[in-house]
Each structure stands twice: as C-alpha cells, then as structure tokens.
Amino acid sequence: MVACSSEGDVPEPSPVVPTPSTVDTTKVDTSKTDQNPVAVKFAAKYRVAKMQITTDGQQAVDSKEKADYRNCTIKIESDTAAWNYEGRGRIRGRGNSTWIWYPKKPYRIKLDEKASVLGLDANKDWVLLANYRDPTHLMNTFVFEMGYGLNMPFTNHTRYVEVTLNGDYIGLYQLTEQIEVGKSRVDIGKKKGWLLSLDVDDGPAEARTAGDNFWSQVYRMPVCVKSPEAEDYATPETLLDDAKKALGDLENVIHSHDYEALKKVLNVQSMIDYLLIQEYVYNVEVSAPRSIYIHKDKGDALWTFGPLWDFDAGFDFDWGHMYDGHGYFADYRETVLGTDPARHVSNYDYVPSFFTDMWKNKAFVSDVKARWKEIKPRIIAEFWAETKRYADAAAEAMERDAKRWPIDKKYTTEINRMEKWLNSRAVYMDNIVSNYPSGN
C-alpha cells in the first residue's frame, strides 16, 4: 500500500494538561538552584547530567565486538549530589544499523563493580543511546513512559546525559538499562527462565554468534536466546531445542486462537498493551521482526511480552532516506498490524501471524477494544506530558547536540510535529480499533 501525505489535514493537537509525575519523584536539590535554574523547575530524573569517559591511553572506541571493549574511567556529574559517580569500567560500540550507518555512535558500558547510576538500581551494564536518527530525542522516551504508565513489566528508564569521550564532546545521549536477566532488569531465573529476542539481525540468517539462535517452529520467526546462556544451562547441548519447544508451545496456542488456553500460558495483558503500543507509534519493525522481546520465568510462569525496545523506526520514518535522513510524521494514517490484523489488511501484510492470529478470537478482540478505551485518554494528558518534561529540561543540551551533530531538522519544530502526529494518531487509532472485525 502506498501512503499519501496527511500533513495538511492533521487535526490541531489537544492541549497538553500536565499531570503530576507518579514515578521516580526525586526531590529537587535546592543547594544549586542559584547556579542552575533548571534544577528549580524540574525534578532530578528529568535533568541532564554530564558524563566524562576516558579510555586508557585515549584508545578509540571503534568496534562493537565484545573482544574490543576499552578499559576506561567514567565520571558523572549531576545537579543531585548523591548521583555523582566516578569509577572504572569498559566501553564498546553497540547496535546494528545505528552503529554502521550514522556518525554519532551508540555505546555499551560495563562497570567493573555494580553501581547505581543517576538514581537507577545498581548494575554493571548500561547503554548509551545516540538517538541520532530521531530529531526529537524523545521517541524511545515516550514509549518507555507509555510502558511504565501501563505497568508493563521491566520497562526501561530514561536519563539524559551529555557525553565527553576522551575530551571530545559527543553530544546528548539517553542512558538506560541493558536488556538482560537480572534482579533490577528482567527478573527471571537466570538458569531456567527464558529471555528471547525476535530479531532478524540476531537470527539464523544473520547470525554472528553461533549456537544461540533458531527459526521458530510454527511461525518461522528469527529467534535469539538472550538467556540462559549455554554455560548457565543444565544441558547446554539441548539449549536451542528446549527454547524452540518452549516458544513452540506458545506458538501453537496462538495458532489455535483459543483465548482460554492462551490465558493459561501467556500474560494476555502484556500482549495487548505491547501490540497496541507498537501499532500506535507505527513501529514497522514488528514486521521484520526486530527488537521484539518476550520472556518467561521458570516452571509454570506465564510468557510475557517485553521489554519495549528501539522505536526510531516508528512514527512514520521515511525509509526512502534511511541511511542519511531524519524524516518522520508525514502521515498518521498507516498501519502495521492492520485494520483487520487476522487477515493482514495492512501496509505490512507480511507481519508474522504470531502477532495477529489472536484477532480471530472474538473475546480477545473485545478485550483489545476495551483496553484501548482505557489507554487513549492517558496518551497525551499523561504519557506525552511526562515526555515533554524531559524535553523541556534538556532543551539547552539539545541545542548543543544540534551544533555538534547538525542535521536538516530543528528539534523544536520536530517535537511540535511529534505532538501533532501523536494527537492525530490517537484519533485515527480510535477509529481503527473500534472497527476491528469482531472475530469468531
């Protein structure tokens, strides 16, 4: 399907009515309010910290391979004195297309010792998202806020930092948790739980790590086993077969579109919320799929969709200029799951039926419609309002980033366009969801 531009007839956005923050309500540090007006207005989690990374011998960070970690010293300066940090660790590149295509690189950091970073739970593993393609710096943040507000399990947090690497200012980054199994991450059994990534870049066709990926049994999706790792699994030689069977059992239930049976093996609420978010932000990577996570604790625990990850391919990204463009928000009238998901009536008719077969079930569709009615009023008034707090607190840092990494977009204009698109998308989605075929 070829989309037409709708930029000219987008409804005017509803006013954003600020709502009190309900998470991470850190008190303002008044000790520095004279020096930093931002600290007066915004709670600590919204404010931008300074991060200095110095590799030993000023070695360049020019690889994302595990063998090429660079030892380094990391220093974080925050307006909240208790969040200041200095310690040793390692740094390397990360990502797939974002590492290959773009000049502003994303990074993975592994501390030598677990530490709380900017008020987040202590861990060794952290991620610096460059958000170079995203001219708003807000796409992942917005989705994280949606997930957090909807109580989706193990949703990532956002902290913004301005990074200096070996004395070179490299711009504004989004610091967040590495998706992995751990007490403060995906809290499931390290040896008997499953954390799977449905991702063509990590799957058998593009495998870089032998022995941790396979094609799923029913829907032939590319799967990478993130946990357990072979050395942690009781019988390493059966790891892939066991993972394939565990996921295959879920696939068979979805394929049968038996809703009552599904409730016995899957956290249905997580599936509905996860897929409504993907459709709402028009994340076309569901079609590949890429960056889709699903997890299950040991024993009879339910499968659960998430964590949410990687959304700069959504928001109507212009794929015609994917290597060097920053075009978003041209059209809000497109679908990835579709107007009739069960029959793949969509801009993307090759979305794996793993995500759409349940639309054949009448009770499931009814629950999707009811859940959307609960979510829609909160999108702008709550989730977008929360996201805007980050944007307002980071405005000066965004300006500095724009000078360091000039593109053909102005972040203030793009944030306004994003708000307009989100409003229009909510109205459009309301019509889509209310008219889903009822199923059988």
What is the reported pTM? 0.91
16 pLDDT more than 50: no
Give the pLDDT score at 205. Answer: 81
Percent above pLDDT 90 for the chain: 85
Give the pLDDT score at 9. Answer: 42
Give the pLDDT score at 423. Answer: 98
Q: In what helix (H) or strand (E) does residue 126 lie, and over which residues does it extend?
A: strand 123-129
Residue type, 373: K
Q: What is the pLDDT of residues 83-107, one digit of tens each?
A: 999 999 999 999 877 888 899 999 9
Instruction: Give the E-state strand segments of 156-249 in sequence order.
Output: 159-165, 168-177, 194-198, 213-215, 222-227
Alpha helix stretches (DSSP H) within 157-314: 239-256, 259-263, 268-280
Q: Is 263 helix (H, G, I), strand (E, B) or coil?
A: helix
Give the pLDDT score at 353. Answer: 98
Give the pLDDT score at 208. Answer: 55
Give the pLDDT score at 300. Answer: 94
18 pLDDT more than 60: no
Give the pLDDT score at 137. Answer: 98
Least confidently predicted of 26-40, 195-209, 237-251, 296-310: 26-40
Rounded to whole angstroms, the Cα distance separating 363 from 69 reads 50
Choose between 130 and 35: higher pLDDT: 130
Least confidently predicted of 3-7, 215-219, 296-300, 389-393: 3-7
Average pLDDT, the chain: 91
The pLDDT-based confidence of 34 (bands split at 50, 70, 90) is: very low
Rounded to whole angstroms, the Cα distance separating 74 from 124 reads 12
Read off the pLDDT of each residue in 248-265 and give the average, rounded to a whole number: 98
